[in-house]
Amino acid sequence: MVPDLSLIRAVADLAHRAPDTRSIVADDGRVLTAHDLLEGANGLAGELHHRGVRAGDRVAWAGRNDPGLLLTMLAAHLVGAVFVPLNFRLTTTDAGRTLEHCAPHTVVVDPELEPVYAPLRASRGVQHWMSASEVASARRDLPELPSFTPDDLAVIVYTSGTSGRPKGVMLTHANLWWSQRSMGALLDTRPDDVALVVAPLFHIAGLNCLTMDTLARGGTLVLRRAFDPDRTLADLAGVTALFGVPAMYAAITRARGFDGADLSGVRTAIVGGASAQTDLFTQFAARGMTLLPSWGMTELAGGGTLLPAAMVSSRPFSVGQAVPYLELALRSPEDGSVVTTPGVTGEIWARGPQVTAGYWADPRATAAAQEPGGWWRTTDLATHEEGCLTLVGRTFEVVNTGGEKVVPGEVEAALRGLPVDDLVVVGAPDPTWGETVVAVLACRTESAPTLADVREAASSTLARYKMPTRVMVLAELPRTASGKVDRVAVRALVVSTPA
């Protein structure tokens, strides 16, 4: 018998075994039990089926974090459909392109986003539109349940697009399940966990780092529509787990009352999406909370590495070791040979049951990422030491200055001691060298580091050709909706601003 690895199966089992389980605490204080979740998913699945949704069709959600998003996903899976969570920050133009690309049968729209999607209703081929307010009230019997396997497509998650046009990553029920098992094997997860969900659920880290697994195990989700530092700090007093990007954790340290807060009840605090400054780890450690660095990507259905708590103080810039059930290798970006020497940069290749089969309706991008033997080229660059990886950039971020290759992450690591909130290194066109290295600093104080300060900080570890030749200071760095530094936007700012 083929096992059913879907989340809806786990929720159904929980609803029959422990129907009063507090599964979701919504932003407005509403509580959905496991019974409520299953009943709501069944009723909405019946409505979707009545509207013509069948196995393989796409059902999209356009809105913020909300119980309705999870109900829509569960209902879509009940009818064998594919769930597509859309970025709630899309413009009408970008939303139209995404809808054309994934061709959903039904789109559920939060009333807050109606001005964005209203112009698209007549021209984008969507067969049915629903308001998010209809999700909770849908109560129609589902006449039949399709049979599906772990390898059937469950979600299409669009990448954040830091390198260009977002791509729709196809993830099966098995991909999601194995990612949950991999991370769960390394974390102190318990059936009664209370996970705070403040990262956007249209991003794989928000959707599958802790959210789906907590629901499946019978824990409780405290689901927030948006991230607010003050409220998040208050929430941390009553939860046991959360995922956040460095910018979110940094904002919490500036919230009122942080210096006196007791955060020792949080056993699992995963930080991912970007490298974090050293003082972030020490600030939270002083409050009794250990941040666990990780690395992952949409194409891996979530986490790919995790740094054990015992190693955080000695390796705060490492993203840790490969999670169980996932094989990672460092390969030369030029010829694909295995990189075995510590400190030498290589591209991370991955293979295992949580790795995507490819990109939706994009065979060219899929073929560019797949290698023989089941390997997937991540485009992330890293070095290794004693089994632990340290990220240094991405293949398309490498700066070519006078024929010499400069990896931005290596320069950023050399500048981590600067008194700034954050920093990023990019390449900019140069008439003499082709490209030159630029350090972009996020600094709220008037005394921002100068170019001389930056070069002095880098001089002990970097060759001269790797040193920044220009500095730009911003109040804050532009970011994608998932909280990562938007390197495309940063480079555009640098290029458009006279030196």
Q: What is the pLDDT of residues 243-258, one digit of tens each?
A: 998 889 999 999 999 9
| 162 closest CA partner among 393, 383, 322, 336 | 393
pLDDT in tens, 449-471: 999 999 999 888 887 888 999 99
The pLDDT score that the predictor gives to residue 293 is 95
User: Which of 6-15, 287-296, 310-319, 400-409 is the least confident region?
Assistant: 400-409
**How much is the average pLDDT of 352-356?**
98
Domains recognised in the chain with CATH numbers: 7-178 (3.40.50.980), 205-211+225-351+373-394 (3.40.50.12780), 398-496 (3.30.300.30)
pLDDT of residue 279: 85
Does residue 191 contact residue 215 with C-beta atoms inside 8 Å?
A: no
pLDDT digits (tens, 9 = 90+) for 76-99: 999 999 999 999 988 898 899 999
Output the pLDDT for position 161. Answer: 53
pLDDT in tens, 274-305: 777 778 999 999 999 999 999 999 999 999 99
pLDDT at res. 165: 65
Mean pLDDT of the chain: 92
Question: What is the tens place of the pLDDT at every residue in 85-139?
Answer: 999 988 898 899 999 999 999 999 999 999 999 999 987 789 999 999 999 888 8
- Provide the pLDDT for residue 142: 82
Chain segment 150-187, per-residue pLDDT in tens? 999 999 999 865 445 679 999 999 999 999 999 999 99
- Cα gap 174→357, rounded to integer Å: 11
Residue 188 DSSP SS3:
coil
Asked if pLDDT for residue 414 goes beyond 70, the answer is yes
pLDDT surpassing 80 at residue 145: no
pLDDT at 486: 86
Q: How far apart are CA 366 and CA 72, in angstroms?
A: 28
Backbone angles phi, psi at 439, to 5 degrees: -100, 120
pTM: 0.87
Q: Which of 5-14, 43-52, 89-98, 490-499 has the lowest mean pLDDT?
A: 490-499
Residue carrying structure tokens 């200071």: 473
Q: Is the pLDDT of residue 223 over 90?
A: yes
CB-based burial, 257-296: b 16+ in 10 Å, e otherwise: ebeebebeebbbbbbbbbbbbeebbebbeebebbbbbbbb
pLDDT above 60 for 207? yes
Residue 431 banded pLDDT, cuts 50, 70, 90: confident
User: Which two structure tokens, joined as six digits, stand for 204?
Assistant: 């794989």
Greatest mean pLDDT among 1-5, 111-115, 421-425 lies in: 111-115
pLDDT value of position 499: 74
CA atoms within 13 A on the CB side of 99: 28
Name which of 82-86, 291-295, 405-409, 440-444 the model is least confident about.
405-409
Are 117 and 62 a contacting pair, CB within 8 Å? yes
Do 300 and 326 meet the contact criterion of CB atoms below 8 Å apart? yes
Assess contact for 86 and 72: CB atoms under 8 A.
no
At residue 206, the 3 state secondary structure works out as helix
The residue among 142, 122, 133 whose CA lies nearest residue 41 is 142
pLDDT band at 482 (very low <50, low <70, confident <90, very high): low
- Of 292, 318, 311, the residue nearest 210 (C-alpha): 292
User: Which secondary-structure segment (H or E) carries 365?
Assistant: helix 363-369
Task: Say what the alpha-carbon torsion angle 411, 276, 345, 493 is, to the nearest 10 degrees.
Answer: -50
Q: How far apart are CA 69 and CA 427, in angstroms?
A: 39
The tens digit of pLDDT for each residue in 301-339 reads 999 999 999 999 888 789 999 999 999 999 998 888 999
In contact, 57 and 70? CB cutoff 8 Å = no
